[in-house]
Chains A and B, each alone.
Chain A
């Protein structure tokens, strides 16, 4: 079992609310990622981080923001939620591929299902 945790698992909120999805990992991984997944569709990378104080936008344009103040913590924030933000958000982490013998294995959290009314 991977030691990566997401909260909340499910969230239903009204339009305009600010929300933060939490993600923590206890594996000491440098790299962390946020993916968005809609039913029947592929995962889309929305944010990633190489380490503390490093964050980058992914392939899919997103109105969310992230921060990486601590290695183990990578929260995602939506300042003003809209119905178009309704989706499944998956957090993941991996070791640096420069680590000997490591293939950059990706470990996922259980996901946060967000519904914006």
Chain B
């Protein structure tokens, strides 16, 4: 069964600290992996998209890594800010069709305290 598991479920850190969120997946055949940020009461916003051949991709203070062999991805946030408080969702796309079915994780709820 194709699944996407994220850990931890929730995380609290102090402003200025770094953190790493994890995503493990069993989706096959793999097409790409995406990380989204979803602020409370808002729609998800894309942070990164990585294909099979990409190991790392950065977007400002966000750096995503992908290990397609172990089917793991991580999202590293550097020098956290209060505005980073949000749910971070890992989404994996398969290669089964031109639509590319998407499998969503439940997200990691990050809270940054001052």
Contact = CB atoms under 8 A, between A and B. Distances in A.
Given A31-B99, A103-B51, A104-B93, A42 B107 contact: yes
Interface in B49-68: 49, 51
Contacts, number: 52
Contacts of A90: 43-44
A97 interface: yes
Contact of A105 (B9, B46, B51, B99): B46
24 contacts: A2-B45, A6-B43, A40-B9, A42-B4, A42-B106, A44-B104, A48-B99, A50-B99, A90-B43, A90-B44, A92-B43, A96-B98, A97-B98, A97-B100, A103-B49, A103-B51, A105-B46, A106-B91, A107-B46, A108-B44, A108-B45, A109-B43, A110-B42, A113-B41
Interface of B: 4, 9, 32, 34, 41-46, 49, 51, 89, 91, 93, 98-100, 102, 104-107, 109
